[in-house]
Structures are given as C-alpha cells and as structure tokens.
Chains A and B, each alone.
Chain A
Amino acid sequence: MAAYFHSVTLEKEKCMGCTNCIKRCPTEAIRVREGKAKIIDERCIDCGECIRVCHNHAKRALTDPLEIIKAYPYPVALPAPTLYSQFSHKFKVDQIIQGLLNLGFFRVWEVARGAEIATQVLVKYLENHALPKPVISAACPAVLRLIQVRYPELLEHVIPIESPMEISARLAKKELEEEGYPVEQVGVFFISPCAAKVTSVKNPLGVKKSQVDGVIAISDIYGPLLAQLASTASVSIQPRASGAGIGWAVTGGESRLLPFTQTLSVDGIANVVRVLDDIAMGKLKEVDFIEGLACMGGCVGGPLTIENSYLSKTRIQNLSKKYGMSYLEVAPEFAFSEFFWTEKIEPCSVLVLDEDLALAMQKLETLDEIHKALPGLDCGSCGAPTCRALAEDIVRGLAVEIDCIFKLREKVTDLAERMVELSSKLPPSIGKPR
C-alpha cells in the first residue's frame, strides 16, 4: 500500500507536548514522544479535532496556497456551500462567485450543484439496491475513514456514490472540455472547510484518482476574497444552486432531501462514534438512513472555517429558504451509471494486535494483565491517552511499563527501600550476623 498522506500535520516548534490532543483524538492516533505530539498515520482520520483543541495552534491542515491556480491557464473554483456562510448576509452568493472570479479563477462551479446531483443519484441507487439497514451516508470523508479503521464490518452499510466535490469536479471538467478548452489546461480547485477533504483528494477512497487538482482552505482564501467583495456589489451572476444543495453544508441538509421517514443526523465525531457503536451491536435497525458528520453543526463547523459555526448555520438555512428546495440541477442520465465508486474500500482495522490469532490472543491476555496493574487514572503523562492505550502500546512493543510515572515511582520506592535495607546490613567481620 502507498505511504499514507495526511492533511493534518504537526508544526513541531509550536507543540508544547501537552496532553490535550491525545485525549481528544477519536481513534487514539496521537502519542506524545520526546516532548512533541506524534500522529500515527494509520490511525489518523483527519477529522481535525486536534486542530481545534490545540491552544498553541501546533496542528494544522496541509492545503494548497491560492497561488497554485496560476499553474493552470483555466482554473476552476469549486466552492463548498459552506463558503457562502462565512460572510455577512449583505454579501450575496453572486458577489462571492464574482469575488472568486476576481481572484483569478476562470470559472466557478458550485459544489452545491454537485450535492443536488449526488442526492438524485443516491435516491435512485437506494431504489434499486438493498443495503443493510441503516444505510450510512458517505458524505463526510472523516466518518468514512473512521468506519474503515474502526468499524470495517459496517462498510457494507455505506452508500457507494461519489461525493458532491468529485461529481462537481468531473462535471466542471466535462463542461469546459465540451466548450473546447484543452482539459489538461483546466485545473479544478476545491475551496474547503475540511481537512479530511484534502486527504480524500490525495488518497481517495472509492475512486481510483480524484478529479480535483488542489484544495484551498476557506481560512486561506477568506482574507483575499473579503477584500474583493466590496467591489462586487453591482454584479449580477445567476447562482446555479438551489437551497437544497446549499443545505448540505449543515447537519441534516442531506437527510431532509431523502424520501425516508426515519433518518438520523449526527454531528460531532464523538457522537458519530456512539451511533456507529450502536449500529455495530445490531441496534438502530428501524432507522433508514444515517448522516454522520465529524464536525459540530456539519461542514460549517469544519476546522478550516473562520466564522462562528452557529451563525454560519443560520446563514445557510436562510440561503436555503431564499433559493428554495427544488433542484435547479437535473442529474444527467450518465450520472446514474457513472457516479459510483469503482474501488472497493478495503477494511483497514488498526485495532488488530497481531496477524497471527494465537499471538494476538496471548497479547490480549498480557494487555489485560498490564492494564489491571496500571493506576487507571488515564492521566496521559506517559504520552498515551489512556492506561488501556499504554497497555496496548506495551504489548505492541512501542512502550514500556515504567513509561507510567506511577509505575516508575513504585520502582524507585522499591529500590530505595531495598537500599535502606542493604545499608543496615553489616559484614560479620564488623557486626553480628543476622
């Protein structure tokens, strides 16, 4: 397998080696080593929780700088609907689109349009295919990775269709190609609220190669775009997305477009974990559809956003009302045969202790013994998030018992007592034999 690429990375010099991020990580993917946080690539799902929780801003997402668009004669912006929620309501969607054009984009292709098509493809797919219930949306790339590494047995619940971003990228390229532009000169750039989207472009799941050529963080484009907005007041561009597509930016925006009565919309990665745990135990069978989003509020709560996510949510809801819920975008016929995953998502369980079952069982027994002997405070001083995680690291050969400061203290006390005991012993030539 190719080396893991991750969007979420550490800026070493800023890291103080505290335990905030290790405690917050939903896949226990971070350890503190030599005074710095270290991300375990196989486990990281790029949810961005550590970016949010780090006081020192030592965690960041690797994205492309705005200048990258100069590498292509015909750069196309794919703004996530969340972008519209980042600016005051006095700036209209057409102004934001014009602002992007002013920044050097040749065209703007709204991802909200891709979301409308994705919804139509999804509905049709579920009419023709019986997935085990509840079916799970593939919209959030962090949740998809979470399922791959922690709940591989639930992969068959996931609807195997391409994301609104991929659909938009394909249609944008197709559109320009049909207009006669050489496709290799067209660069398509997603304007992203989300770190995991960067990873899903570099290391896609479900498709062989992403059609997106770069990902620009909303937080990076925010300043330059804001500077453009003042001069766009008089423009008139007809936005092509409806309120239905724009609504995908918030929790429940996808579910409410579907013809189901029992849907769950869950946001916040810890809440998603709880729901996936329930599904794995065979619960929630009465639920038709589950939309799980890693960020609170949905994409508007993404780690690369600027605006307060509650305000963003209100703005998205207002835009949905304004533009109405009937699709402006009608899915082309080929969408229903082409916009599906071509690649099977292989389970990639990070939990397995050993490939060999007998060895794994031995390790598990040792793990339980070590865990019982640890203090159970989950203090994080050893660099692992919990005592259980330290015990796991020990049986995997990645840590030792005296990494625990309480265990170390016990050892020091034992040693000190033994030294006191030895110091009172005299050789028979000096004192009485005892």
Chain B
Amino acid sequence: MMDDNKQFKPLKLYFTVEQGDFIRAGEASSKIKKVLSQLGFPGSLIRRVAIAAYEAEMNIVIHSWGGELEAEIGPEHVTIVARDRGPGISDIALAMEEGYSTAPDKVREMGFGAGMGLPNIQNCATEFIIESGEGRGTVLRILIAVKE
C-alpha cells in the first residue's frame, strides 16, 4: 500500500494543524482541494479527498494535542496522512462506529463531534489504516484511488 508510481514524481503538500484552532480549521483540506481542481482531477475524486482530508483535519483540531496533515498526489491515487501528538484512541473499533464520539460538550455545541468523522473517512477511502493506542499519537493513513 501507499507505493507510488515509480516514474512519476508525486506532489507533496504539508500542513501543520493546531489543537482547538477553529478559525483556521479546514484551511489545509481546502488548499488540498484547490490543488486537485487545478490539476484537473475528476470531481468524484476531489470530493472524496476533500471530505476525508477535512474530517482528518477536524479530528486533529478537536481531539488531539495538535499535529500535521500531509497529502501526496499521484496519477493513480492521493494519499492523506494525518499525524497527531496524542492522546491516542484506546478502542479503535468503537471509534469507527457511527455516532460514537468522545468530543467534549463545548465542541458539540459548536456543531462538531457527531461521531461521523472516522466513518466518513472510511466511506471516502479506498484504503484506510488507523495506527493508535492509548497514550500515544494517532496516525491516519488514507488512500483514495482516482478510479472509484
């Protein structure tokens, strides 16, 4: 997985994402979306990447102590890697359930934290891996193929 076409130099984008910064939240994924539009990718791919990147970015803002978002764009697929510094997910299977959320009330009042983040990413992704555990950072690896 995540092995890019050898002859093709993929384009890499990198963003840092701050914890709790709701003002800038969404800027990284918005930038990724714009780049894909400028590169001429089909709408269906742009939509899936935009949604997955946005959910991953919001997860860092809402649930983590800060982290980063990386996008690697190749002709066959786009990969998004979201890394944060913790606190980690103790039960990944539970986190993947629709409607399950650990978001604090304050965040829910803002309209976030509906427990759909990870399931939404799953729906958009061709391949999706979560590496996490209690007390360490979380890494989301999302691969989205151009061909649906």
Verify A360–B50 contact, CB threshold 8 A. Answer: no
Contact A364–B11 (Cβ < 8 Å): yes
Determine whether the beta carbon of A282 is less than 8 Å from that of B51: yes
Provide the residues of chain A in CB contact with B54, threshold 8 Å: 281-283
Q: Does A347 contact B (CB under 8 A)?
A: yes
Classify the interface of chain B: helix, strand, loop or mixed. Answer: helix
With A281-B33, A357-B39, A360-B38 in contact, do A153 and B46 touch (Cβ < 8 Å)?
yes
Are the CB atoms of B51 and A347 closer together than 8 Å?
Answer: no
Contacts A280-B33, A280-B47, A281-B29 given; does A355 touch B40 at CB 8 Å: yes
Which residues of chain A have a CB within 8 Å of any CB of chain B? 152-155, 277, 280-283, 347, 349, 351-355, 357-358, 360-361, 364-365
Which residues of B19-65 are within 8 A (CB) of A?
26, 29-30, 33-35, 37-40, 43-44, 46-47, 50-51, 54-55
Q: Is B101 an interface residue (CB 8 A)?
A: no
Contact A155 B43 (CB under 8 A): yes
Known A282-B50, A282-B120: A352·B35 in contact at CB below 8 Å? no
Other A-B pairs, 14, CB within 8 Å; known A281-B33, A281-B54, A282-B51: A277-B30, A280-B46, A280-B50, A281-B29, A282-B47, A282-B54, A283-B54, A351-B34, A352-B38, A358-B8, A360-B40, A361-B73, A364-B11, A364-B38
Lowest 6 A-B CB distances belong to which pairs?
A153-B43, A282-B51, A352-B40, A351-B37, A281-B54, A153-B47
Chain B residue numbers with a CB within 8 Å of A349 are 37, 40
Distance to closest chain B CB from A372 (angstroms): 14
| A152 touching B39, Cβ below 8 Å | no
How many pairs of A and B residues are in contact by the CB < 8 Å rule?
A: 58
CB contact list, B92-140 vs A, under 8 A: 120
Taking CB atoms, residues of chain A closer than 8 Å to B55 are 282
Contact B40 A354 (CB under 8 A): yes
CA distance A52 to B115 in the complex (A): 45
A112 to chain B, nearest CB (A): 35
Q: How far is the CB of B96 from chain A (nearest CB, A)?
A: 18
Question: Is chain A's binding surface mostly helix, strand, loop or mixed?
Answer: helix
Q: List 7 A-B contacts (CB under 8 A).
A: A153-B47, A281-B30, A281-B50, A282-B50, A347-B43, A349-B37, A358-B75
Please determine whether A357 and B50 come into contact, CB atoms closer than 8 angstroms: no
The answer on a CB contact under 8 Å between B39 and A364 is: yes
Are B11 and A365 touching (Cβ within 8 A)?
yes
Query: Taking CB as reference atom, which chain B residue is nearest A349?
Result: B37
Residues from chain B with Cβ under 8 Å of A152 in the complex: 43
- In the complex, A347 Cα to B44 Cα: how many Å? 12
Distance from A117 Cβ to chain B, minimum over Cβ atoms (Å): 31
B11 contacts across to A, CB distance below 8 A: 361, 364-365
Kindly state the separation between the CA atoms of A365 and B33 in the bound complex, as whole angstroms.
16
Complex alpha-carbon distance, A155 and B75, angstroms: 24
Alpha-carbon gap, A154 to B73, bound state (A): 22
Contacts of A358 in B (CB 8 A): 8, 75
- Residues in A neighbouring B29, C-beta threshold 8 A: 281
Instruction: Tell which of A281, A282, A352, A361 touches B37, judged by Cβ atoms closer than 8 Å.
Output: A352
The chain A residue sitting closest to B124, CB to CB, is A282
Q: Which residue of A lies closest to B41 (CB)?
A: A357
**Chain B min CB distance to A292 (Å):** 18
- Complex Cα spacing A365 to B30, Å: 17
Q: B39 — which chain A residues lie within 8 A by C-beta?
A: 352-353, 357, 360-361, 364
Q: How far is the CB of B95 from chain A (nearest CB, A)?
A: 19
Q: Is the CB of A353 within 8 A of B26?
A: no
B43 and A357 within 8 A (CB): no
Least Cβ–Cβ distance between B129 and chain A, in angstroms: 21
Q: Are B38 and A351 in contact (CB under 8 A)?
A: yes
Point out the residues of chain B lying under 8 angstroms from A280, CB to CB. Answer: 33, 46-47, 50
Complex: chain A residue closest to B123, CB-CB: A282
**Roughly how many angstroms separate A358 CA and B73 CA in the complex, as a whole number?**
11
Taking a contact as CB atoms closer than 8 A, the residue among B33, B38, B44, B120 that contacts A353 in the complex is B38
Bound-complex Cα distance A280 to B36 (A): 13
Chain A residues with CB under 8 Å of B30's CB are: 277, 281
